[in-house]
């Protein structure tokens, strides 16, 4: 039974105290389209054994990524995670720890975060990185808020290649903070449109590379245009393994680099938790969200670690906080750091090359299927194709044949008029046999 300690009279007193006439008043900001018309269709109660059986039957309907040829990407990527990563994060001192409020007590935790920051700064080509954020999308939203504070301007321009869910996260926080957003039309390769949208009111330009369609772009020209107008350049990356092959955001002139770190050390996990990477120029560090750990020496000259900067409201006066981000995904950041330590620079470059190799094989195989048009001109491990049928229907048909073909763009951005576009990703986990199965089954479904 549910534990309900409050009586109806208690609830009425609480509602009266805040000026609400009923429970529904607490949810007025929820869109009506998201509100169920009544209770969910579930029994009022059931025994534990019955519940286990029902949930087990529902779970058995899932097709796990490792059981069939799998070509999904679009912001979450299947990579091989070494067993040693899971072995280390399962140790109790890591698994049960939390970033402490008296941080210098936990030197091990601080050292892990310091090493993580060092790795992220090196990968992104930036001068300083924080101790991580929730995920890539919230990191992007925090970057926009930071740019508005730095420039004292109130408009963010988002490229048409930005992942739609990242754009929605930015819009959600920007709306609440009074920052206007300009979201350009979806574009496989829209560099000129981004530059044309920059004006004197622009606080920042948000560009993703490789973008949601997989297009890898050198954004140096966009960075120069943004900075010439007094705006900050924010570069978003959803596939962290691409840092092993492509130019870093810092090399392309970014002021702020944000990324999703799930690809390194973190499995798909049915959607999370993930880990947001956030790095910036040193001159901007005092406006950065979250925490920063630093290296120092103690009174005896011994190496030690401290919480150098903490900008969230739990640590400092609320009116001085630059962010209300409430955690730093510590365990996921640890998994990232362990995997990166195992790979090293040479290993990451080899892994990136293998990803690109398998993606090129997949692209060539699909390009030979009648009716398939490859849209992405240059890519890392992900690309978009146009199909002669709705992509969502094709994905369902292929799933019934034991192939998870990718992500329909319409699922990310309904109503964009791109129902025939499919996002396809091939990582090192994709075999040549998987590619052959995809090509064969796709040809039959489209015939």
Instruction: Choose one of 340, 365, 380: the last residue of a domain.
Output: 340
CA distance 399 to 420: 17
Q: Is position 1 within any domain? A: no
Statement to judge: residues 332 and 389 lie in one domain: no
Statement to judge: residues 140 and 234 lie in one domain: yes
pLDDT computed for residue 114 by the predictor: 95
pLDDT computed for residue 96 by the predictor: 78
Assigned token pair, 173: 């926080």
Statement to judge: residues 140 and 273 lie in one domain: yes
Q: Is position 4 within any domain? A: no
Statement to judge: residues 284 and 419 lie in one domain: no
Statement to judge: residues 327 and 375 lie in one domain: no
Statement to judge: residues 274 and 421 lie in one domain: no
pLDDT in tens for each of the 447 residues of the chain?
456 778 889 999 999 999 999 988 999 989 989 988 888 887 878 889 999 999 999 999 988 899 999 999 999 999 999 999 999 999 988 887 766 666 677 888 889 999 999 999 999 999 999 999 999 999 999 999 999 999 999 999 999 999 999 999 999 999 989 999 999 999 999 999 999 999 999 999 999 999 999 999 999 999 999 999 999 999 999 999 999 999 999 999 999 999 999 999 999 998 889 999 999 999 999 999 988 999 999 889 999 998 888 766 556 666 677 777 766 788 999 999 999 999 999 999 999 999 999 999 999 999 999 999 999 999 999 999 999 999 999 999 999 999 999 999 999 999 999 999 999 999 999 999 999 999 999 999 999
Q: Is position 9 within any domain? A: no
CA distance 323 to 130: 13
pLDDT computed for residue 318 by the predictor: 66
Q: Is position 56 within any domain? A: no
- Give the CATH number for residue 427: 3.90.1150.10
pLDDT computed for residue 101 by the predictor: 65
Statement to judge: residues 187 and 328 lie in one domain: yes
Burial bucket for residue 118 (CB in 10 Å: 0-12, 13-18, 19+): middle
CB 261 within 8 A of CB 274: yes
Statement to judge: residues 232 and 184 lie in one domain: yes
pLDDT computed for residue 316 by the predictor: 62
Statement to judge: residues 377 and 313 lie in one domain: no
pLDDT computed for residue 218 by the predictor: 97
- Give the CATH number for residue 283: 3.40.640.10
CA 282 to centroid of chain Cα atoms:
23
Instruction: Choose one of 315, 340, 365: the last residue of a domain.
Output: 340
Instruction: Choose one of 340, 374, 400: the last residue of a domain.
Output: 340
CA distance 367 to 362: 8
CA distance 226 to 385: 31
Q: Is position 308 within any domain? A: yes
Task: Report if pTM > 0.85.
Answer: yes
Q: Is position 156 within any domain? A: yes
CB 166 within 8 A of CB 413: no
Which residue segment(s) compose the domain that 246 sits in?
83-340
pLDDT computed for residue 258 by the predictor: 98
Statement to judge: residues 259 and 117 lie in one domain: yes
Statement to judge: residues 295 and 438 lie in one domain: no
Q: Is position 372 within any domain? A: yes
Statement to judge: residues 308 and 384 lie in one domain: no
pLDDT computed for residue 106 by the predictor: 80
| Total domains in the fold of the chain | 2
Q: Is position 23 within any domain? A: no
């Amino acid at each position: 039974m549910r534990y309900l300690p409050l009586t109806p009279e208690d609830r009425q007193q609480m509602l009266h105290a805040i000026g609400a006439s009923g429970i529904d008043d607490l949810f007025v900001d929820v869109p009506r389209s998201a509100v169920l018309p009544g209770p969910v269709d579930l029994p009022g109660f059931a025994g534990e054994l019955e519940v286990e059986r029902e949930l087990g039957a529902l779970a058995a309907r899932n097709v796990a990524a490792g059981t069939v040829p799998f070509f999904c990407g679009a912001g979450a990527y299947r990579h091989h995670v070494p067993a040693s990563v899971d072995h280390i994060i399962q140790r109790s001192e890591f698994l049960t720890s939390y970033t402490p409020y008296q941080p210098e007590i936990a030197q091990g935790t601080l050292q892990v975060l310091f090493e993580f920051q060092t790795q992220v700064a090196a990968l992104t080509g930036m001068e300083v990185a924080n101790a991580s954020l929730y995920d890539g999308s919230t990191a992007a939203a925090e970057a926009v808020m930071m740019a508005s504070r730095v420039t004292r301007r109130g408009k963010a321009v988002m490229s048409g290649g930005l992942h739609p869910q990242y754009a929605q996260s930015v819009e959600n926080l920007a709306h609440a903070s009074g920052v206007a957003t300009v979201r350009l039309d979806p574009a496989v390769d829209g560099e000129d449109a981004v530059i044309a949208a920059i004006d004197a009111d622009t606080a920042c330009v948000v560009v993703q590379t490789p973008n949601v369609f997989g297009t890898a772009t050198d954004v140096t020209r966009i960075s120069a245009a943004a900075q010439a107008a007094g705006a900050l350049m924010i570069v978003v990356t959803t596939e962290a393994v691409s840092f092993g092959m492509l130019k870093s955001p810092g090399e392309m002139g970014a002021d702020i680099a944000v990324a999703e770190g799930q690809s390194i050390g973190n499995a798909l996990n049915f959607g999370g938790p993930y880990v947001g990477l956030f790095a910036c120029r040193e001159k901007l560090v005092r406006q950065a969200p979250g925490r920063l750990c630093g290296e120092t020496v103690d009174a005896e000259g011994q190496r030690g670690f401290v919480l150098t900067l903490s900008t969230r409201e739990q640590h400092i006066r609320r009116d001085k906080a630059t962010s209300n981000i409430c955690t730093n995904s510590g365990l996921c950041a640890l998994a990232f750091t362990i995997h990166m330590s195992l790979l090293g620079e040479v290993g990451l470059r080899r892994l990136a090359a293998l990803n690109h190799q398998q993606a090129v094989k997949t692209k060539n195989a699909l390009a030979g299927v009648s009716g398939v048009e490859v849209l992405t001109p240059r890519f890392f491990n992900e690309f978009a194709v146009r199909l002669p049928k709705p992509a969502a229907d094709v994905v369902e048909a292929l799933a019934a044949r034991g192939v998870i073909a990718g992500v329909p763009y319409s699922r990310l951005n309904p109503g964009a008029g791109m129902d025939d576009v499919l996002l396809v990703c091939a990582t090192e986990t994709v075999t040549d046999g998987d590619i052959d199965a995809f090509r064969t089954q796709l040809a039959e479904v489209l015939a």
